[in-house]
Amino acid sequence: MMRFGILGAGGIGSYYAGMLSRAGHSVTLLARGDHLRAIRERGLEVWYPEGAFIAQPAATDVLDDLLQVDYLLLAVRGFSLPDVVPFLGVAGRAGTTIVSLLNGVDVAEQLEAGGVPRECILPGLVATSVVRVAPGVVARTRTIERVVIGELDHTATPRATALVEALRDAGIPVEISHDIHRDLWRKFALIVPINVVCGLMRGPIGPVLAIEEGRALIKRTLAEIVELSAACGTPLSAADWMCQPTCAAA
């Protein structure tokens, strides 16, 4: 049994709290308000395409309750990162591995700049669709689910292997990346064009790709991300670029 702390009780954090708790691990989830009360009163209800279950993770609104864990899954929104960095530094120096599941290509750098020891940071990414549908209830809405983790120095380590084994035993599809920086950029190249272009055109991706102007804007956005990745030291290849569903459709 491993000890997990989960910082961020939205869709991703709550879902993995439920999955890991059901598998018998010690899980403490930082939650607030109605969500916290619901979990304490009746447990955490998890829906997924194959069924549903109720898990019983420990739920708290006290940040220090997440100290003294083996792994701390970081699943807050990006804009909340500065608020939790001081605590993450304390947790890291106490021996906890900080597993970042946020979107973005520079989260590890932000953590390190905020005083979190580099050696305790284990970057990762999640590809799935999970939403918190009600207090105490979270749902994975698609069959697609993939977690990727990898060390910053691209080595295979016992802590990464142990985490992968725990996640797999909990029924979570996961793999170790041998180049986590590139994998983070690949996800960045997928989500940014969709978010930016759909926001600019005020519509979902289907209608955007149905017109020439939308397809052209997607391609220009992807091209800019490729240039940016090269400038940042992790150049995306043509294969990385063309494998994006939005680019293939465009």
Q: What is the pLDDT of residue 244?
A: 52
Q: Do residues 215 and 250 make contact, with C-beta atoms less than 8 angstroms apart?
A: yes
State the Cα–Cα distance between residues 71 and 69, nearest whole angstrom. 6
d(CA 20, CA 163): 11
pLDDT for 45 equals: 98
Confirm if 173 and 147 have CB atoms less than 8 A apart: yes
pLDDT value for 214: 82
Judge whether 53 and 46 are in contact, CB under 8 Å: yes
Give me the residues paired with residue 191 across strands.
Answer: none
Which contiguous run of DSSP H or E holds residue 143?
Answer: strand 137-149
| DSSP label of 237 | P
- pTM of the full structure: 0.90
pLDDT score for 171: 95
CA angle (228 as vertex; 149, 249 as ends), nearest 5: 75
Confidence (pLDDT) at 243: 53
Cβ-contact 235, 210 below 8 angstroms? no
Q: Which amino acid is at 40?
A: R
Residue with tokens 């910053």: 152
Q: Which residues of 34-56 are buried (b: 16+ CB within 10 A; e: fewer)?
A: ebbebbeeebbbbbbeeeeeebe
10-residue stretch averages of pLDDT, the chain, 250 residues long: 96 98 97 97 96 97 96 94 95 97 94 96 95 97 93 95 97 95 92 83 82 85 88 80 51
The span from the CA of 173 to the CA of 188, in Å, is 20
CA angle 191, 192, 195 (to 5 degrees): 85
